[in-house]
């Protein structure tokens, strides 16, 4: 009972953190490895600490069908040899294997609703809550872990992410001086383009690293850490450009500024910079999160961030070796490419 109550609390929190229907016309959850969007006309509902889902959103995905008998007000679910007959008046459930259970099914706004935990237990599914609060149903046919789905979800640049169209991938690498060579080696041996972003202190500490990237023909950009004010950022970027001019006789207006606000990006753009954000941070890699698996599931434009450490070089290698489709998707970051931003 304690676990059931805890799950119910998590479900309520999960529903609460989703965008309001006034802001979004859909509510997102996950079924195995796929995003499932419920419209505001048939949303998930929590009543008496129980989560209810629209029957038409889950039954067919669980391999089940149903019939409704209006005379007896019985909602009957079929899957293989299992039959679940729900009496919508009394809440009694009679099963084909002669069990007598209790679960409430109701009809609202022309939609039948089923108790999620009950129906998943009977039909062979499990419910979990992702860090974002999104719910996920798994049936044993999923290929990605909860952590991997969480990384895929975090890469979405809009709430209802389109999975058609451009799926180009860009590699954005923080150019820490002592590790530039390691990252360059991973790219050059595979003939893959990347973009290296330097701060003024990076260039001062090791100007040879900047020369090495320039000679290798890889894209060079400017780096600004998160939390920097726009005025301080512009000053730092101009200083970085001046240092680049001294070292390699050319400069860049490309900027990597992870996690900046829309207002911050606008001010830098107005100052003449082309500002990129990253929507896939490879630091999420863990024993249960494969970068190759996540990259293969991100079916939209993605800017993949490597923090430039020695561990980051290993992540770059594992991503490129583990994801066979990487090379065909990866493109060079140039001043003519529209930068990735959240929300567009």
pTM score: 0.89
Question: What is the domain range of residue 55?
Answer: 2-142
pLDDT tens figures, 34-53: 999 998 888 889 998 999 99
For residues 135 and 235, state if they share a domain: no
For residues 186 and 275, state if they share a domain: yes
pLDDT tens figures, 121-136: 999 999 999 988 899 9
For residues 174 and 127, state if they share a domain: no
What is the sign, positive or negative, of the torsion defined by CA atoms of 256, 257, 262, 265? Answer: negative
Q: Indicate the range of 58-67, 187-196, 253-262, 326-335 predicted with least confidence.
A: 253-262
Range 42-66 average pLDDT = 93
pLDDT tens figures, 261-272: 889 999 999 999
For residues 288 and 173, state if they share a domain: yes
Cα 155 to Cα 289: distance, rounded to the nearest angstrom: 14
Cα 83 to Cα 102: distance, rounded to the nearest angstrom: 14
Cα 275 to Cα 272: distance, rounded to the nearest angstrom: 9
Name the domain count of the chain.
Answer: 2
Cα 154 to Cα 267: distance, rounded to the nearest angstrom: 25
pLDDT tens figures, 271-290: 999 999 999 999 999 999 99
Token pair in block for residue 57: 């959103």
Cα 17 to Cα 12: distance, rounded to the nearest angstrom: 9
Q: Is the pLDDT confidence value at 10 over 80?
A: no
Q: Is the pLDDT confidence value at 24 over 50?
A: yes
Task: Please report whether residue 154 resides in a domain.
Answer: no
Q: What is the CATH number of the domain that holds 312?
A: 3.20.20.370
User: In this predicted structure, what is the pLDDT of residue 259?
Assistant: 83
For residues 278 and 313, state if they share a domain: yes
**What are the Cα distances from residue 183, in Å, to 179, 196, 247, 282, 300?**
7, 9, 21, 14, 24
Cα 102 to Cα 32: distance, rounded to the nearest angstrom: 27
Q: What is the CATH number of the domain that holds 12?
A: 3.30.457.10
What phi-psi label fits residue 165: left (phi over 0), alpha (psi between -120 and 50 degrees) or beta? left
């Amino acid at each position: 009972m304690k676990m059931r109550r805890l799950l119910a609390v998590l479900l309520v929190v999960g529903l609460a953190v989703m965008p309001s229907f006034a802001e979004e016309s859909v509510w997102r959850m996950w079924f195995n490895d796929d995003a499932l969007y419920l419209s505001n006309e048939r949303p998930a509902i929590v009543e008496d600490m129980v989560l209810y889902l629209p029957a038409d959103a889950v039954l067919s995905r669980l391999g089940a069908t149903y019939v409704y008998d209006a005379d007896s007000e019985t909602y009957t679910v079929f899957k293989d040899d299992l039959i679940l007959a729900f009496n919508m008046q009394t809440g009694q459930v009679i099963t084909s294997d002669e069990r007598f259970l209790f679960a409430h099914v109701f009809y609202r706004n022309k939609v039948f609703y089923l108790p999620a935990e009950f129906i998943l237990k009977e039909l062979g599914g499990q419910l979990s809550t992702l860090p974002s609060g999104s719910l996920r149903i798994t049936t044993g046919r999923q290929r990605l872990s909860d952590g991997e789905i969480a990384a895929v979800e975090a890469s979405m640049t809009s709430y209802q992410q389109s999975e058609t169209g451009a799926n180009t991938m860009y590699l954005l690498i923080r150019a820490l001086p002592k590790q530039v060579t390691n990252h360059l080696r991973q790219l050059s041996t595979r003939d893959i383009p990347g973009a290296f972003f330097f701060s003024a202190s990076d260039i001062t500490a090791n100007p040879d690293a900047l020369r090495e990237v320039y000679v290798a023909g890889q894209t060079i950009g400017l780096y600004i850490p998160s939390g920097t004010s726009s005025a301080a950022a512009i000053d730092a970027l101009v200083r970085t450009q001046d240092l680049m001019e001294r070292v390699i006789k050319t400069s860049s207006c490309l900027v990597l500024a992870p996690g900046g606000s829309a207002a911050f990006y606008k001010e830098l753009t107005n100052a003449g910079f082309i500002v990129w954000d990253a929507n896939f941070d490879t630091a999420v890699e863990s024993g249960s999160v494969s970068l190759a698996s996540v990259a293969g599931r991100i079916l939209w434009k993605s800017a993949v961030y490597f923090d430039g450490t020695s561990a980051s070089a290993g992540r770059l290698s594992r991503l490129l070796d583990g994801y066979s489709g990487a090379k065909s998707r990866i493109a060079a970051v140039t001043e003519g490419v529209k930068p990735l931003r959240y929300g567009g």
